């Protein structure tokens, strides 16, 4: 071995083991193709500050390409709205890699599902008037930081927008993360469904990607942020499209997803999107949709005003329509979006997106090894979790609230 055996023994004896520093038995909160995540607390002997941490055990063993990329990328990045990597543990015996992060109790996927379910049974949840504005402001700040460092996210969706919980010193702060799945391949053309049986969702994918654009761009991230803004306002995915089971298409062209986008946005004219005819899949588009006359009367303004009573002259709508420009060249940069009037007028965005309001969401459930966590699978599909019934969801939520209250009384 290249290293003196005695020196290796010394290093090994001194190396801090993750199981010695953290308690994580039975505290798994997430699992997917990327690995698994535990909610942990440092043991008294550890030198980590008290509080909750997320321990991600990377799938596979040894320094895989993705592990290398995640560590190399995260250790360079430091911004309040981007998840921060606290520590890396290399278990030499098992060649396991563990990443330590701050723990985020909430994420937009669970939060939006909670509001959607509450709406369905007419039990309104009170939220600050600047709730959407605060979340949007922090997402754009985080993405502006990433884009300034020439880091593209490529897979922005509600599940990847984490929010710190009540017990965190950063209560109500947005942290952009990437829980994996789309991370292994960078080219937009690689069929992700080959690496993971879980169907990937196209609801947040920009139209140019669906029409064969060969490279991710910053504008692709801004489109996804527009989709997230609409979903925060309406509690429904703007471009919701049923996922055919195990789509094996290797082409990026997804007719149903494009159909959904056109039925909300209208069909892009030559004036709207000059470069459209130069996209690789333009031929398929013409074959499937012709001149798009059937979408002539559709527009985002019509959709948002008819379905959600949103005024087309409101600053909120104007920013939304800028972000959802069909032509990527017409979408604002993150900085230009942050300078939009929407963020300058009252109520101003807050550092705590809950603005001191009680946080109504339950804590993350621990998942057992036996049962596949349908929530986790649904989250990866970014499709709505299939709750056997709303009552079941409510009951489990009520139980969670009750348990939380009992725990608070005990502590």
Give the count of alpha carbons within 13 A of 118, CB side only. Answer: 17
Residue 133 or 153 having the CB closest to ligand 0ST: 153
Q: Tokens standing for 138?
A: 């922090």
Residue 29 or 279 having the CB closest to ligand 0ST: 29
Residue 77 or 247 having the CB closest to ligand 0ST: 77
Residue 105 or 316 having the CB closest to ligand 0ST: 105
Residue ranges binding ligand 0ST (CB under 6 A): 30, 37, 54, 56, 66, 69-70, 73-74, 77, 82-83, 101, 104, 151, 153, 162, 176-180, 183
Minimum CB separation from ligand 0ST for residue 85, in Å?
8
Sign of the Cα pseudo-torsion (276, 282, 285, 291, in order): positive
Instruction: For tokens 């290796």, name the residue.
Output: 8
In Å, what is the CA distance from 150 to each residue of 66, 91, 188?
18, 32, 17
Closest CA to 225 of 113, 302, 324: 324
Minimum CB separation from ligand 0ST for residue 26, in Å?
17
Give the count of alpha carbons within 13 A of 106, CB side only. Answer: 24
Q: Which residues fall within 8 angstroms of residue 366, CB to CB, at 6 or more apart?
A: 26, 27, 28, 29, 39
Residue 54 or 135 having the CB closest to ligand 0ST: 54
Residue 77 or 91 having the CB closest to ligand 0ST: 77
CB neighbours of residue 192 within 10 Å: 18
CB neighbours of residue 289 within 10 Å: 16
Residues 310/319, Cβ–Cβ less than 8 Å: no
Minimum CB separation from ligand 0ST for residue 56, in Å?
5
Minimum CB separation from ligand 0ST for residue 103, in Å?
6
Residue 137 or 153 having the CB closest to ligand 0ST: 153
Minimum CB separation from ligand 0ST for residue 37, in Å?
4
- Decide: helix, strand or coil at residue 132: helix
Minimum CB separation from ligand 0ST for residue 123, in Å?
29
Minimum CB separation from ligand 0ST for residue 146, in Å?
6
Instruction: For tokens 């017990």, name the residue.
Output: 167
Residues 362/29, Cβ–Cβ less than 8 Å: no
- Rounded Cα distance, 29 and 49, in Å: 21
Instruction: State how beta strands 106-107 and 96-102 pair.
Output: unpaired
4 is catalytic: no
| Annotated active-site residue in 52, 107, 155, 221 | 155
In Å, what is the CA distance from 265 to each residue of 93, 240, 351?
55, 13, 32
Active site residues per annotation:
155
């Amino acid at each position: 071995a290249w290293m003196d055996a005695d020196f290796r023994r010394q290093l090994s004896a001194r190396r801090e083991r993750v199981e010695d520093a953290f308690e994580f038995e039975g505290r798994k909160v997430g699992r997917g193709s990327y690995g698994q995540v535990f909610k942990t607390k440092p043991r008294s002997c550890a030198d980590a500050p008290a509080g909750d941490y997320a321990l991600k055990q990377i799938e596979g063993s040894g320094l895989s390409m993705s592990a290398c990329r995640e560590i190399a990328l995260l250790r360079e990045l430091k911004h309040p709205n981007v998840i921060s990597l606290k520590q890396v543990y290399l278990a030499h015996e098992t060649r396991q890699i563990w990443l330590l992060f701050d723990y985020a109790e909430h994420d937009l996927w669970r939060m939006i599902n909670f509001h959607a379910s509450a709406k369905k049974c007419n039990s309104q949840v009170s939220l600050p008037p600047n709730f959407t504005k605060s979340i949007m402001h922090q997402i754009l700040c985080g993405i502006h930081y990433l884009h300034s460092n020439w880091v593209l996210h490529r897979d922005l969706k509600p599940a990847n927008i984490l929010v710190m919980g009540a017990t965190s010193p950063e209560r109500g702060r947005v942290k952009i993360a990437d829980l994996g799945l789309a991370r292994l391949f960078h080219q937009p053309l690689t069929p992700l469904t080959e690496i993971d049986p879980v169907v990937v969702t196209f609801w947040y994918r920009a139209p140019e990607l669906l029409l064969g654009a060969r490279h991710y761009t910053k504008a692709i991230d801004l489109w996804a942020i527009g989709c997230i803004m609409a979903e925060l306002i309406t509690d429904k995915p703007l471009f919701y499209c049923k996922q055919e089971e195990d789509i094996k298409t290797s082409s990026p062209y997804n007719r149903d997803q494009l159909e959904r986008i056109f039925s909300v946005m209208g069909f892009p004219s030559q004036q709207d999107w000059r470069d459209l005819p130069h996209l690789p899949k333009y031929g398929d588009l013409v074959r499937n949709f012709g001149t798009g006359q059937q979408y002539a009367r559709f527009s985002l303004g019509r959709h948002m005003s008819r379905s959600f009573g949103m005024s087309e002259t409101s600053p909120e709508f104007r920013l939304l329509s800028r972000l959802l420009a069909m032509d990527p060249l017409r979408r604002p940069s993150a900085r230009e979006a942050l300078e939009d009037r929407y963020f300058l007028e009252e109520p101003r965005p807050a550092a705590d997106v809950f603005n001191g309001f009680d946080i109504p969401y339950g804590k993350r459930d621990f998942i057992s090894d036996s049962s596949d966590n349908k929530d986790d699978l649904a989250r990866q599909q970014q499709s709505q979790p299939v709750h056997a019934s709303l009552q079941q969801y409510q009951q489990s939520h009520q139980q969670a609230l009750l348990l939380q209250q009992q725990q608070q009384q005990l502590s």
